[in-house]
Structure 1
Amino acid sequence: MIYNGLKQMNGFNKIFLILLIMSGSLLWAQKPGTIRGLVTDKETGEPLVGVNIIVKGTYYGASTDLEGFFIIPKIEPGVYTIEVSYVSYKVIQQTGVKVEPGQTLTLNFQMEPSILALGQEITVIGEKPLMDLEQTTTARTLTEDEIKNRIVENVTDLVSQQVGVTKQDDALYIRGSRSYESQYLVEGLSVQDPLAGTGFGLRLSSYAIQEIEVLTGGYKAEYGQATSGIISVKTKSGGDKLEGYFSYKTDHLFGQFRDKDFSFNTDHWDFSLSGPEPITNIMNKAGLKLPGRFYFFLNLQNKIFDDYTRATAKQLHSSIAPTLGGLVDQDFFAPRQNNLWSALIKLTWKIDPTHKLTYTYNRSLVINQNTQTLQTNLNYVEPRPGFPYKYMKLLDNFNTFTHDNEQISLIWNHTLNSTTFYELKFSRYFAQLRSEWGDDLWNGYTQPLDVPRLPVEYYTPYGDSTKVRVIPGDGFYDYGNALSWHDHFMYSYTIKGDLTHHSGDVHTFKTGIEISFKEMQLIDIQEPFAGPYGSSQDLFHVYPADGAFYFQDDIRFGGFILNAGLRLDYWAPGAFADRAIEDTTNFISPDQREKYKKDSFNFFGRRVKARLMPRIGVSFPVSNNQMLYFNYGHFSKRPRPQFVYSGLSTVSARSAYQTYGNPALNPETSVKYELGLRNQFTENDVLSISAYYKDIFDYVKTTRFRLPGRGGQTAYTYVNLDYARARGIEIEYKTRIGKYLFGNVAASYSITTTKSSNASSILQIDRSATGQDVPIRESYAAWDRPWQISGNLSFRVTKDQKPEIFGIKLFNQWNLNLHFFAQAGRRYTPVVFSGQYRSDGRPIYLTEYDVEEKTLYSKIGSNWKWVDLSFKKYFDLWDVHYIFYFEIRNLFNNKNAQIINPVTGRAYEYGDPVPISWNDPVYPDRHWPHDPYPFDPARYRAPRHILLGFSLEF
């Protein structure tokens, strides 16, 4: 009977049922134990009355009596974490508390007074918990120490190692959503370039990060403008003593291995310095005595390397790279094919225990020829790596991409009393991205040409033996420049305020407001050589505004945790959009004009749109150290600026294939559900399982409409008519084995489907057997990767440890880190044999989508897998900590296909059949407008990469 019922349920209903069954599992009944103790003030020794003591992950808890005593009876035997909290005191968490059957355990706590609000300071006794059992969502936090033991260099590396995150074509996709749908925060402030389309903006060194949190499930009302996930970074601050760090790693060792396959001509250095007092000393010498203490943190990073494809330009040129006041030439910042620079300066003024002011300056500069640096996606391009293959023999004539990001922020923290504090944040964020050739404007471009090679070769055209023609070339450009010139910039000025209040031990109220004013400009020239302003061009300069109000309450009672909140996001597209709606000469349909006015309201002369989003999360214990959690919420993301403003400027081109922006677009909306279970078997073993379902509405796509009064003239525009859904299950196991081994293993299975994988897809492109256009069908997303497995293992031996293996004593002070990863290959639309051959014997393959009317991206290419390894050896000399290490990326040199041959489902190798749109080396046919020969070196991900390095810390 049960079996028949399960058969009738769909896959994800089964998952939810299994989770519920697991949550009800109980251990064999044992005689319960008891925890009792005394809580006193650490300074005075006086007993504290009304202190809250809870056993995390259970319903067990108690409060101290008039003499400071507490007792928690009838606790099931096991290992727990005890949390002690009291207003005006630091929270204490004691891990690894073992309750024996029938025994009474005595725990006494001495609480340290704190003027900071409750929960701002936590003292951990014992090992740091592997996971917060009481979270109501899926969130993964990496601290400074954990980051040191990962094989990573930046924020992107850290995020891409989290389960549920897919990295493809230099973009991150979180739980099936598009790359730009995440929110990237530094110190709680957005540093995302919305015009670039990559999801990221500011780049940071991993060594500058104190903590990074990746939220992939539902998140509280304080977070906004993300339908996929939140990436929140907290940078380091200076401490009470002077500390420094310097590291350098390379893969060529002063040029010795530069010609080896494992060398990409890489040099990477990272420098940090932090500590107290320099500002105080300067102020004192100037006769200005200020209260409190000052701290500083400085980080500088530079990574330069050539492409693993072995194709490099002689010199990249950028017209917007800084000159540092004329001290350096702009070419100084681009000595290799890929160049990354970043700087962080952070100054903290702790005026007293209740007041703190923080100033931060962040800047990053990226210069390369990676076409994925700019993902405009306004004209559909098959997702591929960013290597400009057709320009491989002429990279000096190809565009250079320069992405400059800068953030300046000022943060004020004020603790009003032991239960209430607030934060005020002021930020200016600047982003600019330019795609150009030879630091020239578009009027210096020439048309790219693939010319015949001498001696001239001739051929007989396929199907016409009466003619003889010259073979035009080999498929690679010999002269001319890239097909576009692009420049955009954005200024964002943000004011953000948050107020937090603790009401007893039950409620934590938080409310906030965010106001942001932006200036954006975009210039996009297509085929610059075709005329004064190219064959088509787009330009807009806009001043939108946006912001939010939110309120949330975290309720905690008897082991039950409830997070409930409401968020209101607003968005004013700006005067540019308002005028475009009123201008009847624009390519905007009457329906869109009416919709814009209907969906917005007038506020001080500007049209404003608003959206209200409820969110709720619940967590409660179902047995000892076993928590079940559920969350539900509505989330939104404003449409990309190009979808709103493109083509509406009076100077924009009116080309026949222009897609015009639509100010009537609404933000995309996601409705997410998540159910999960966390189970702490021991202090050192935690298992978590979560299942999620996500509906995404109002995705943007293209449609064609008829312009009234223009003789039947039609135009293309963007509309909110696409839909996507993602569903999946994730499992993660974390462990500490003995004193030395730490690790985690994670796996996921998910499916993402949508009507189109790109906004450029129009509403009716499918062709039925009758040849008529029909609405497109739901298909797999291009970035859908159904399964994924990853793990990190770290074997650490400190100075005082002397491990033995099989009776052999090992040396101390070393660290071995291992990261392994495997996932399903890229999706592709297969081609099938048509049953026909050309006259030269070449078989003709056509797209399965056209021949058999199947969906797009129905197949999965060859799987991806690799292993990364690093080894570090530590030495101490004269109070300086030295580290020598080597790092091997893709240890086993696995070949992971990035460009899929749709005939075979793997990367092309000589002799493989290819679709008719590809030029087949076995049947050369250079006169057709095909892709060049399919030996693109970027068809595989990077091969084995070996780096050696050293660092020192003091």
Structure 2
Amino acid sequence: EGNKFNKNKEVLSMRWIRLFRSQDAFARVMLINLAVLSLLIIWSPWVFAGTTGKISGVVTDSETGLHIPGARVVIEGTTMGAMVDPIDGSYVILNVPPGTYTLVGECIGYNKMTVKEVLVRANITTEQNFELVSEAIKVGDITVIAERPDIDKYEVSTVDRISAEEIESLPVTNIEGVIKTQTGFVSEGGALHVRGSRAGELAFVDDGVLIRDQLGGYGGVNISGDEVTPISRLSMNVSASDVEDISIMKGNYSAEYGDCAGGLVTTQRKEGSNKITTVYAQLLTDDMGSPGLNKYSFNQDRFDLSISGPLPLISNQLFPALGLKWPGENMAYYGSFSVDKYDGFVDYNDFDSPRSKIDYGSEKFLGIEIPNRRVNKYSGLMKLTWKIDPNSRYKLNLRYSKDWDRARDFNFGFLYVPENAQVLKSSREIKSARFSFNPPFLKDTFGELLLSEVIQTYERKPGGLTPSNFYVPIKGWESYYDANDNGQWDPAEYFEDLNGDGIWGEPYVDLNANGRFDVDVDSLIDLNGNGVWDPEPFEDSNGNGVWDPAEVINNDVYYIDVNGNGIYDDEDSTYLDQDGNGNGIYDPQLSDIYNIDEPEPYIDGDYSWGEPFTDVNGNGVYDPPYDSMGTIIIVDIWEPINDLDHNGQYTGPDDPWSEGIPYTDYNQNGRYDAPNGRYDYGEPFTDVNGNGRWDPTDQFYDAGFDRWAQYHYDYTRTRTLKLDMTSQISRNHGLKSGFEFKFHRIEYQDLQYPYNKYDGPADTINTDKNGPWWGIERAIEVSDLDGDGIPETVTGTEVYSKGTFRDFYVRTPKDGAFYIEDNMEYGEMIANVGVRYEFFIQAREVKDSVTLSYEGLSDRRIIDSQQRWAPRIGFSFPISEKAKLFFNYGHFYQRPGFVKYYQRATQASNAFTVIGNPNLDYEKTIQYEVGVQYAISEGYRLDVSGFYKDQYGLLNTVPEELSSRSTEMQQNIDYARARGLEFEFLKRYGQFLAGSIKYEYTWAYGKSSSDRSDYYIRFAGGEIAIKENPLDWDIRHQLTASASFSVIKGEHPHFGIFKLPDDWSLNLIWLYKSGRPFTPGDNYPGLSLRRNESPIINSKRMPANSTVDVKFDKNFQVYNMNYTFSILVNNIFDYNNVDDVYSSTGMANTDVNYNGQIYTGLPRHNNPAHYTSGRQIMLGLSVQF
């Protein structure tokens, strides 16, 4: 029996070993994760969630100072509370949503004590002690206002926490505006950088749900070069009125959070009350009602609406009607909707040219036609909150929200063809269920289970076109013959077709094929019997007195007759001499190829009429008496009397002009100007773009698209299972730990240079769960969703023959994490010590052998998974009641965006390609911070901190040989570092005034500022940098000064002899930032270079930026409804802040540099996107009841 047992044990062990060594990465990683989870469970069964806070303190006797056994502390108006520990007199209330509360401390034999305005914030401890007075002392119940300590001893790092009340007073409308008012953040190229980090390293946690650009793009508002792109995958258009609390973490943060290496912003959305219904509405507009008053208008209207309260019908009507009792408290709801429409500080319609005017269309809402603007943002939210038991031990939160944005890029190059600029669409949909539990059998323990799904889409369409609208040159370019030289294609003039034959005029037989009716020559079909040919009534559009047919499409295009058949064949050339799409009209969007920039038509020189003659044969030109062979022909009559220039021979319009020959003086300068091949001032021209001047090739597109036109669509879905719990196991230790698993699905479509013919490998996409490949013809994706071998969905468009750079794939990777952290409190010292274990499991599609062969990676081993441990520690040590020291150190890992893993080799043969690398590692950041807080006096505080950040394994490209083809592949090869000092002087609210001054000195250096910089350098034949240089977002000095002057209701302060009204506030924010660096051009003024020497990267600086924003609010009541009238002024001093410059001049409005001398630039150089927004004045009215 013993031998049999040992044998079975050995077999079982071998099975586990084989499983561990198997190619199934998911099974192997799950074994590791289960082992880690088991250790965490043995160590601590407690996990903590960062969406709520906690209240703690001690209850003592006011006379003796001893703790009071049997006392309790409750939150007024709720069932939440805690009994005092009989040993040390401490209490802890867990799972408290952020907000302001009233606490009540009571015990038999003592007077009750009430503390109002106790502020609770997410993931932080609020300390509130009670000193109860014995009933023997007849003082009655005591009520006090909670004092907020100037020093928060529980904070171990630099965190900016902003409450709902503070958000309401700021001159912002959404949380992106709140973030940009903080030091440490730099907006560059459309992305936010945190303390020197690269773009994309900032993440958001919205009601416990991580929001991150999983593909690896930029977040926030995009302002880059010619483009002002107002939306991206990570835009957070969250209304400020929806937010209860914001925490902005720039330094170290809890081990609970991961997959972001730069910074973290957590937001807690408001919840509804289960007792009262509240309605809030606000309208903001910068439309003052007349053009004269709209000088500082961006044509913006924003509307916010929220309704909250007890959910009607269910608990108080439906259940009682069924004879049932609703368990727990009434369910509460919070619903909100926001719409924000604006044209922005730059818009095509702001320019005078009629060619730049564009109609953005409209949308219908409840049957009402609502005009669109250049940017249109919508947001909706619904939250349900249910406290399942009377003691609030179990709570369920359900949430559904959706944001969707529609916009058109402002690209200065498309000023005269705005209809061809990029059209952008994005959406984000969040569904979550969060179950909180505090079971009575686990003392001082609280847990939270979160299930969530985040779906994000992002789409870019050049000119609003999809791939089916793109015409490769062999199938679609169109041009036309501009017969009247007006710079545009003219269709046939309208005529009244009396006889219904579709031909202008009465029918006739054109015997001599000259295109017109000749009397007594052609055979006339005399419809009305009048003996003459009659035209039909027509509309003379151009006023030339004759009916004009449509201008000939493509009649002016030359081609090479390859087969010599005398006609045009498709294969003869890359251009057509026919209507490309066969619709019978000229389509500007299909005109020619990229970068169409043509001079406006003009009349070159004056027109010479030549000498008079008798046109005998009526052909309109003078015919000499002899032909080229000397034979006498029909002679036009020219008489010596008409020899106006006295040269003894006929002088025609095409001969050199001589004195005496009549001419038309077009520029009216009194002399004849011969054609000289260039435009001279005063010559007549066709003002195609309507700007009032003649334009040569002016770098503005006249038709078509730029060569980098791009169609893009992506879809990402992330499903998350997350469990968090916490337990205050003793007064000294609060353990928290948890785990999360994420399941991703990515659908990616990208087509660049869409009007180029594609000659690369055919697209195939593996989406079948059973493993077989579906051969994808013409890049149409077929998805087998349930794995039964039958495709359920077909998506995509016919794009097989189009584009130079192409990317089409579906991938399903997974990742997750475990963490554990101990929050220790020993005396005055606070310590947070934790560790996070992160893992990534490669998408199964990438490991398929067909995929590897197809991508040229068959000789490479694909790593199944990646794992990393990230330790975090933080200490806070109050050295007195007025001062504390803090220190933190942490490792932070971030998985690269999935595009960097999966970008494919489906690119044309002439492309200088970049492909993804499925074996990428995590990007790693090591950061530590040390600081001090000092309370100068009551209400005044000084904070000083310094940080040190190193980043390893950042992405860039390296040359690779795949299937005998040179390419560039992503690798973890770059390094960067940042150092900085922060100073903050804070004045808390006192008599009317509060404010702060924040200053940060930072420098950010690294090998490169982009994960493609080496690719571009090698493409241009340059030299790869081997030393560190300032990064593109290296702003050395940042200063933020804010002041808030507030008068509460009932107070009337005096200003000199004037008595001011009550219930109003005035808030100001001044933002100052020194200039970003840029790399000068070779001919930059004053720059001296040796032979073959390149300018030093980012060795010059742009000008500094300064902005002052102001907000004024006046509150009043009418019929028990609270109103607020607001005035919001952004950039009140209208500073013209530079955001981008030309490398050859260092200036924002000119690129003209001749031999080091800078001259006034061309109109194209004065790009408004090179500046930030100017002054904007908005008026607002809100109501709440």
Query: Which one of 282, 294, 317 corresponds to residue 260 of structure 1?
Result: 294
Q: Secondary structure of 2:433's partner?
A: strand
Separation in 2, partners of 1:772, 1:826:
23
Matched, 1:739 2:991: yes
Separation in 2, partners of 1:746, 1:878:
42
Matched, 1:455 2:601: yes
Query: Which one of 458, 470, 475 corresponds to residue 699 of structure 2?
Result: 475
* Deviation (angstroms), 1:784: 1.3
Matched, 1:206 2:212: no
Compared CA separation, residues 172 and 91, structure 1 to 2 (3 A): closer
Query: Which one of 162, 175, 180 corresponds to residue 155 of structure 1?
Result: 175
Matched, 1:175 2:209: no
Matched, 1:218 2:218: no
Compared CA separation, residues 819 and 609, structure 1 to 2 (3 A): same
Query: Which one of 432, 435, 456 corresponds to residue 460 of structure 2?
Result: 435
Contact 2:1014 2:1024 survives alignment (8 Å): no
- 1:88-139 residue CA offsets vs partner (Å, 9 max, x unmatched): xx975269xxxxxxxxxx77599xxxxxxxxxxxx99424445523311111
Other-structure match for 1:866: 1107
Contact 1:703 1:719 survives alignment (8 Å): yes
Q: Secondary structure of 1:576's partner?
A: coil
Separation in 2, partners of 1:523, 1:685:
55
Contact 2:1075 2:1105 survives alignment (8 Å): yes
Separation in 2, partners of 1:502, 1:345:
33
* Deviation (angstroms), 1:921: 7.3
CA-atom RMSD in angstroms: 3.7
Q: Secondary structure of 2:1182's partner?
A: strand
Q: How does 1:797-946 map to 2 (within 5 A)?
A: 797-806=1047-1056, 808-831=1058-1081, 833=1083, 853-908=1094-1149, 913-914=1152-1153, 922=1160, 933-946=1164-1177
Length, aligned pairs only: 806
Q: How does 1:113-262 map to 2 (within 5 A)?
A: 125-129=145-149, 132-195=152-215, 197-199=217-219, 200-239=234-273, 240-253=275-288, 255-257=289-291, 260-262=294-296
Compared CA separation, residues 544 and 953, structure 1 to 2 (3 A): same
Q: How does 1:374-385 map to 2 (within 5 A)?
A: none
* Deviation (angstroms), 1:658: 1.6
Other-structure match for 1:514: 740
* Deviation (angstroms), 1:511: 0.9
* Deviation (angstroms), 1:636: 0.8
Higher Rg of the two aligned structures: 2
Query: Which one of 374, 377, 382 corresponds to residue 345 of structure 1?
Result: 382
Counterpart of 2:301 in structure 1: which amino acid? Answer: D
Counterpart of 1:177 in structure 2: which amino acid? Answer: S
- 1:775-804 residue CA offsets vs partner (Å, 9 max, x unmatched): 543111111111100022111111132223
Separation in 1, partners of 2:386, 2:896:
39
* Deviation (angstroms), 1:761: 1.3
Other-structure match for 2:565: none
Q: How does 1:12-91 map to 2 (within 5 A)?
A: 36=65, 39=68, 41=71, 49-52=86-89
Other-structure match for 2:358: 314
Other-structure match for 1:22: none
Separation in 1, partners of 2:416, 2:960:
43
* Deviation (angstroms), 1:169: 3.5
Contact 1:35 1:107 survives alignment (8 Å): no
Q: Secondary structure of 1:133's partner?
A: coil
Q: Secondary structure of 2:1164's partner?
A: coil
Query: Which one of 446, 450, 464 corresponds to residue 425 of structure 1?
Result: 450
Structure 2: segments with no counterpart, 5+ residues: 1-61, 75-81, 92-104, 111-115, 136-142, 220-233, 350-356, 471-589, 606-675, 680-694, 758-800
TM-score (norm 1): 0.78
Separation in 2, partners of 1:679, 1:316:
54
Separation in 2, partners of 1:655, 1:289:
73
Query: Which one of 1029, 1035, 1038 corresponds to residue 779 of structure 1?
Result: 1029
Matched, 1:716 2:968: yes
**Greater share of strand residues, 1 or 2?**
1
Separation in 2, partners of 1:681, 1:453:
68
Contact 2:109 2:134 survives alignment (8 Å): no
Counterpart of 2:1045 in structure 1: which amino acid? Answer: F
Contact 1:311 1:392 survives alignment (8 Å): yes
Q: Secondary structure of 1:237's partner?
A: coil
Compared CA separation, residues 628 and 337, structure 1 to 2 (3 A): same
Contact 1:731 1:748 survives alignment (8 Å): yes
Separation in 2, partners of 1:363, 1:934:
40
Compared CA separation, residues 151 and 729, structure 1 to 2 (3 A): same
Q: Secondary structure of 1:888's partner?
A: strand
User: Which stretch shifts more, 580-589 or 867-876?
Assistant: 580-589
Matched, 1:696 2:951: yes
Separation in 2, partners of 1:676, 1:363:
40
Compared CA separation, residues 147 and 128, structure 1 to 2 (3 A): farther
* Deviation (angstroms), 1:714: 1.6
Compared CA separation, residues 738 and 307, structure 1 to 2 (3 A): closer
Query: Which one of 235, 259, 271 corresponds to residue 305 of structure 2?
Result: 271
Q: Percent identity?
A: 29
Counterpart of 1:705 in structure 2: which amino acid? Answer: E
Matched, 1:559 2:828: yes
Separation in 1, partners of 2:1153, 2:1080:
11
Compared CA separation, residues 562 and 145, structure 1 to 2 (3 A): same
- 1:274-326 residue CA offsets vs partner (Å, 9 max, x unmatched): 112414245337635421221111111111011222324634479xx9x99xx
Counterpart of 2:146 in structure 1: which amino acid? Answer: G
Matched, 1:625 2:882: yes
Separation in 2, partners of 1:184, 1:390:
34
User: Which stretch shifts more, 470-479 or 513-522?
Assistant: 470-479
Compared CA separation, residues 226 and 43, structure 1 to 2 (3 A): closer
Q: How does 1:786-797 map to 2 (within 5 A)?
A: 786-797=1036-1047
Compared CA separation, residues 820 and 82, structure 1 to 2 (3 A): closer
Matched, 1:586 2:855: yes
Separation in 1, partners of 2:753, 2:1016:
28
Separation in 2, partners of 1:124, 1:847:
71
* Deviation (angstroms), 1:557: 0.5
Separation in 2, partners of 1:523, 1:720:
25
Compared CA separation, residues 703 and 799, structure 1 to 2 (3 A): same
Contact 2:249 2:264 survives alignment (8 Å): yes
* Deviation (angstroms), 1:725: 0.5
Other-structure match for 1:574: 843
Separation in 2, partners of 1:945, 1:563:
45
Separation in 2, partners of 1:629, 1:267:
45
Separation in 2, partners of 1:341, 1:764:
37
Matched, 1:305 2:335: no
Counterpart of 1:783 in structure 2: which amino acid? Answer: W
Counterpart of 1:485 in structure 2: which amino acid? Answer: Y
Compared CA separation, residues 364 and 124, structure 1 to 2 (3 A): farther
Contact 2:839 2:865 survives alignment (8 Å): yes
Compared CA separation, residues 851 and 272, structure 1 to 2 (3 A): farther
Separation in 1, partners of 2:807, 2:1155:
34
* Deviation (angstroms), 1:763: 7.4
TM-score (norm 2): 0.63
Q: Secondary structure of 2:848's partner?
A: helix
Separation in 1, partners of 2:71, 2:973:
62
Compared CA separation, residues 638 and 450, structure 1 to 2 (3 A): same
Q: Secondary structure of 1:530's partner?
A: coil
Compared CA separation, residues 439 and 899, structure 1 to 2 (3 A): closer
Q: Secondary structure of 1:204's partner?
A: coil
- 1:408-429 residue CA offsets vs partner (Å, 9 max, x unmatched): 1100000124410100001010
- 1:425-467 residue CA offsets vs partner (Å, 9 max, x unmatched): 01010100111145531231444443423325999xxxxxxx9
Structure 1: segments with no counterpart, 5+ residues: 1-32, 55-63, 70-80, 96-105, 111-122, 371-386, 460-466, 598-606, 835-843, 925-931
Other-structure match for 1:727: 979
Other-structure match for 1:444: 469
Counterpart of 1:425 in structure 2: which amino acid? Answer: L
Compared CA separation, residues 749 and 825, structure 1 to 2 (3 A): same
* Deviation (angstroms), 1:35: 9.3
